Amino acid sequence: MLSYRVISFDKAPKLQDLETPAPRSGEVRIRTAAAAVNFSDLLLLKGRYQDTPPLPFTPGMELAGTIEACGPDVSQEMKNKRVAVYSGQGGFAEQAIAPANRCLILPDNLSFTDAAGLQVAWGTSHIALTQRARLQPGETLVVLGASGGVGLSAVTLGKILGARVIAVARGETKLEAARNAGADITIDSETDDIRDAVIAAGRADVVYDAVGGAQAEAAFRACNPGARFLLIGFASGDLPTFKPNHTLVKNIDLIGVNWSAYWKFAPQKVRESGAQILQWAAERKISANVNHHFTLKDTDKALTLLKERKSTGKIVITPQPTEV
């Protein structure tokens, strides 16, 4: 099977032809139909992600496909099921090994491409906004990095939950994507003063920060008393600096969100969240926002598009394009 392998953190990954792996206890083997690209995959390539596996490995944290083999203690009834799964690695290959207990059965009318692009982005936003921030109808939600897969999901989910959504992104093309996802107000991070623009719009009750750096600091200074600031990621490459006394005086909560960790300490919650998301997608209430498609041989190009922040929505690799 073809697999995009990381051999060294100092050298570029390469496609390799490997033997078909056999699932072990608690595992299944999936014929990969689609795998989504995430910012965390870029960190994996450099060994900077908190859950980086030992070398060599295949990146690709979330995928969808058909189960073709089950481990010795896994029910054979799972064989041939169409599933989505957060495997943590292995998605950028024709076949992948994944934990059986993380597999979510797909609704019949949901495509592999959409299913692959839903889990991390929508799962993160759903857990962040409903369980961590407890976003309420009528509150103002500010989404930084609102044009990416995670950001667009936060914009749409914010509207579903009844919030007024302010989307921050760079350039008119990305702002238009945020408006199409439901944003009430848009702010151009290239030309607008984020702090002043958010204050003019009534300040923030919840900030969804997938960017970090100066944008996060500007949004923090535009928070209402009692606001909740969600730390989702740091796509800018810079960690934000918050003054603790400002956090204290304004009663602002700084809330970390590590969606993948829920599989370890609250797996039932993330399974329930995932099932809800897949059902919403099947009912066309939400979209995976997949706007970029690449073959396995073009994985380098897919990762470069994300690294250069030129994507809008999700990027998906299709090792088995005929099945999508």
Give the model's pLDDT for residue 57. Answer: 97
Give the chain's mean pLDDT.
94
Q: Which two tokens stand for residue 273?
A: 């969240």
pLDDT in tens, 122-158: 999 999 999 999 999 999 999 999 988 899 999 999 9
The domain limits of the chain are 2-117+288-323, 120-260
Q: Is the peptide bond between 56 and the residue preceding it cis, with omega within 30 degrees of 0?
A: yes
Give the model's pLDDT for residue 321. Answer: 58
| CATH for 120-260 (3.30.930.10, 3.40.228.10, 3.30.300.30, 3.40.50.720) | 3.40.50.720
State if pTM tops 0.75.
Answer: yes
CATH topology for 2-117+288-323?
Quinone Oxidoreductase; Chain A, domain 1 (3.90.180)
pLDDT in tens, 68-124: 999 999 999 999 999 999 999 999 999 999 999 999 999 999 999 999 999 999 999
Percent of the chain past pLDDT 70, that is, above it, reads: 98
| SS3 at position 177 | helix
What single-letter amino acid sits at 304? T
Is the pLDDT at 324 greater than 60? The verdict is no
Is the pLDDT at 193 greater than 90? The verdict is yes
Is the pLDDT at 323 greater than 60? The verdict is no
Rounded to 5 degrees, what angle do the CA atoms 173, 278, 109 make?
Answer: 95
Domains 2-117+288-323 and 120-260 share a fold: no
Rounded to 5 degrees, what angle do the CA atoms 150, 126, 177 make?
Answer: 35
Q: Regarding predicted confidence, which is higher, 309 or 92? A: 92
Give the model's pLDDT for residue 180. Answer: 94
